[in-house]
């Protein structure tokens, strides 16, 4: 998940960056110290979430959020402020969250986790998209809470079970309706088919092991269980490991 930090205080930006760098699956792609630079970064880098200071010289956080809300697919906005009364005004703009300074690590993690779900402003943009849209870099699914999406780069592997497919990612599991064949066709550059039931992220593969019966299993980063490899897929796996 790509995060942009916007704050006019260098120490505040540094503190947020240090905490985010400790969270698996999150990346600070840029920092900005005013609203104009923030909008430029969003336009160029397309972050998934923006940590946005409410009180800044010039264009303040609420004005920046208003500009972002008009974009085609706005990022999730998490306001930060040193003043609780400002947090109340920010809450009326329906952000993904708001944090009081000094920001606590557990509050930041919870806000970023909530930001993985699309905001109300994003629902309309997502509604017309394919469940697996590799151009956007997400897989999406309708859940009882609305539309949930996961960045492709956060997915470790896909596992097919009967008519559904599970996307196992850094924050959990998402049940989608796309078949492995469809996913393989659209995501084949970054995922490898290793079994009739499994499609794994190439970048997350760490090794190949065998059990006592000769069955082959892939080891992946952040995954405690091995992903089975079929015999006919072994040459492709060995080629990947050799590369």
Q: Where in the chain is the domain with CATH 2.40.50.1020?
A: 129-242
Question: Which pair of structure tokens corresponds to residue 129?
Answer: 């998209």
Q: The domain at 2-123 falls in which architecture?
A: 3-Layer(aba) Sandwich (3.40)
Q: Distance between CA 124 and CA 25 in Å, rounded?
A: 26
DSSP at 114: H
Q: Distance between CA 65 and CA 2 in Å, rounded?
A: 17
Q: DSSP assignment of 197-224, as one string?
A: TEEEEGGGEEEEEE-TT--EEEEETT-S
DSSP at 172: E
Task: Please give the class, per CATH, of domain 129-242.
Answer: mainly beta
SS3 142: strand
E-strand stretches of the chain:
2-6, 27-32, 49-53, 76-81, 97-100, 132-133, 138-143, 146-151, 155-161, 164-169, 172-176, 191-195, 198-201, 205-210, 216-220, 227-229
Q: Residue 144's Cα: distance from chain center in Å?
A: 20
Among candidates 134, 232, 156, 151, which has minimal Cα distance to 200? 156
* Residue 44 neighbours by CB distance under 10 Å: 10
Give the per-residue pLDDT at 166. Answer: 93
Mean pLDDT of the chain: 83
Give the per-residue pLDDT at 134. Answer: 43
Q: Distance between CA 226 and CA 43 in Å, rounded?
A: 40
Q: Where in the chain is the domain with CATH 3.40.50.2300?
A: 2-123
Among candidates 219, 214, 216, which has minimal Cα distance to 235? 216
Give the per-residue pLDDT at 177. Answer: 83
Enumerate residue ranges in the chain where pLDDT < 70. 72-73, 84-96, 116-136, 145, 243
Q: pLDDT tens digits, residue range 21-51?
A: 998 878 999 999 999 999 999 989 989 899 9
């Amino acid at each position: 998940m790509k995060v942009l930090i916007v704050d006019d205080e260098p120490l505040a930006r540094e503190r947020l960056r240090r905490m985010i760098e400790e969270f698996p699956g999150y990346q600070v792609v840029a920092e900005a110290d005013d609203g104009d630079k923030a909008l430029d970064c969003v336009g160029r880098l397309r972050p998934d979430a923006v940590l946005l200071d409410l009180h800044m010289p010039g264009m303040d956080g609420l004005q920046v959020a208003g500009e972002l809300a008009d974009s085609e697919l706005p990022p999730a906005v998490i306001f930060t402020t040193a003043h609780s009364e400002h947090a109340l005004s920010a809450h009326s703009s329906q952000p993904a969250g708001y944090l009081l300074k000094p920001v606590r690590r557990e509050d930041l993690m919870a806000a970023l986790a909530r930001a993985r779900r699309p905001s109300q402003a994003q629902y309309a943009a997502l509604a017309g998209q394919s469940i697996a849209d590799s151009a956007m870099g997400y897989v999406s699914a309708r859940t009882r809470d609305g539309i949930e999406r996961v960045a492709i780069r956060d997915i470790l592997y896909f596992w097919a079970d009967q008519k559904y497919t599970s996307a196992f990612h850094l924050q959990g599991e998402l049940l989608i309706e796309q078949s492995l064949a469809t996913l393989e066709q659209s995501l084949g550059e970054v995922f490898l088919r290793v079994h009739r039931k499994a499609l794994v992220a190439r970048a997350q593969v760490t090794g190949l092991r065998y059990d006592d019966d000769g069955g082959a299993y892939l080891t992946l980063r952040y995954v405690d269980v091995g992903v089975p490899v079929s015999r006919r897929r072994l040459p492709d796996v060995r080629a990947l490991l050799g590369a």
